[in-house]
Amino acid sequence: MWIQLQEKSFTPRVNVPQYLLDDPIYQGGVLKQSMLSAPERDPNKPVTDDEYGWSAKMWEPAVRARYQQLVRQLGQEFDGKIAGINFSESSIDVGTENADGTTTFPSDFNPKAYIDAIGENMQVLAESFQHSTAMVYLNFLPDEWLPWNDKGHMRGLFAQAKALNMGVGGPDLMPYRKGHMGQSYAFIKEYPAALVKGMAVQDGNLRQINPKTGKKNTVPDLLDFAQNYLGLDYIFWVEDEPYFTDEVLQQLPDIKAN
């Protein structure tokens, strides 16, 4: 069994307890984000309120403290009993991109504090799960776009993960996709083989075009990229239909749908 601790949402659902929304100490508890630019979004779908989700305000100390307490409690109950656990993706879609390439963030969001919170949460996860694999999903970070705007944030988090002997990975396994190749894929590829690496095949990944072939991604495309380029130990297959039934289950018959 593998657990993903999902404090972000990509639908109108809010993934935090009600008390974080009600008590002023948590500064509202969540911040609205958009998934309009996400690769899993079907470009043929009309824009609706469903395109927006929420992120826990992890940069707020009170919110972060409650989250870390949850991680510690999960560790006490499940460390050594499960194969692994990972946080949700580091990417957060907030702010407005300006013509000069900069981003104007909401007044209640601090990108550096958010990145620092990821690092602090990683430390707690590694301490809480010393027998099961503790994994951090690193894909994109706010206020940094590699290689042109390299502030050392992604590099620093991967270095911290290595020092903590953590697993690394992320959502969206899409072979040779330009934006991802410039961000986390290069770090995942070079991450020590002795440590664990895993990625998820998310909604929409099999719909994307493989730049190497000019055709839609196939299951063999994903397997080849995962094994021979990134060197992954785990692939987490999301049941994205009709691709999961028509392609994944047909080509990987040992996978059993739950």
Q: Please give the full DSSP string across 61-107, using - where no structure is assigned.
A: HHHHHHHHHHHHHHHHHHTTTSSEEEEPPS----SEE-TTS-EE--T
In the prediction, which pLDDT does 101 show?
Answer: 73
Match 């824009």 to its residue by tokens: 47
For 114, residues 6+ apart whose C-beta sits below 8 A from its C-beta are 58, 59, 92, 142
Alpha-carbon gap, residue 105 to 121, rounded angstroms: 22
Match 């799960």 to its residue by tokens: 129
> How many C-beta neighbours within 10 Å does residue 256 have?
6
Q: Which residue has the higher pLDDT, 99 or 88?
A: 88
The angle that helices 111-128 and 153-163 make with each other, rounded to 10 degrees, is 10
The encoded tokens of residue 95 equal 């702010």
CATH class of the domain whose range is 2-251: alpha beta
- The secondary structure of residue 128, as a DSSP letter, is H
Q: How many percent of the chain have pLDDT more than 90?
A: 75
For residue 147, is the peptide bond before it cis, meaning its omega torsion is within 30 degrees of 0?
yes
Asked whether 8 and 92 are in contact (CB, 8 A), the reply is yes
Among 17-21, 66-70, 152-156, 246-250, the least confident range: 246-250
Q: Where are the domains of the chain?
A: 2-251
In the prediction, which pLDDT does 253 show?
Answer: 67
In the prediction, which pLDDT does 12 show?
Answer: 81
Confidence of residue 258 (pLDDT cuts 50, 70, 90): very low
In one-letter notation, the amino acid at residue 16 is V
Asked whether 20 and 63 are in contact (CB, 8 A), the reply is yes
In the prediction, which pLDDT does 99 show?
Answer: 79
> Residue 256: is its pLDDT beyond 60?
no
Q: What is the pLDDT of residues 189-234, one digit of tens each?
A: 999 999 999 999 998 899 999 999 999 999 999 999 999 999 999 9
The encoded tokens of residue 44 equal 């043929």
Compute φ and ψ for 244, nearest 5 degrees: -65, -45
Q: What is the pLDDT of residues 6-15, one digit of tens each?
A: 999 887 889 9
Confidence of residue 105 (pLDDT cuts 50, 70, 90): confident
Asked whether 132 and 82 are in contact (CB, 8 A), the reply is yes
> Residue 257: is its pLDDT beyond 60?
no
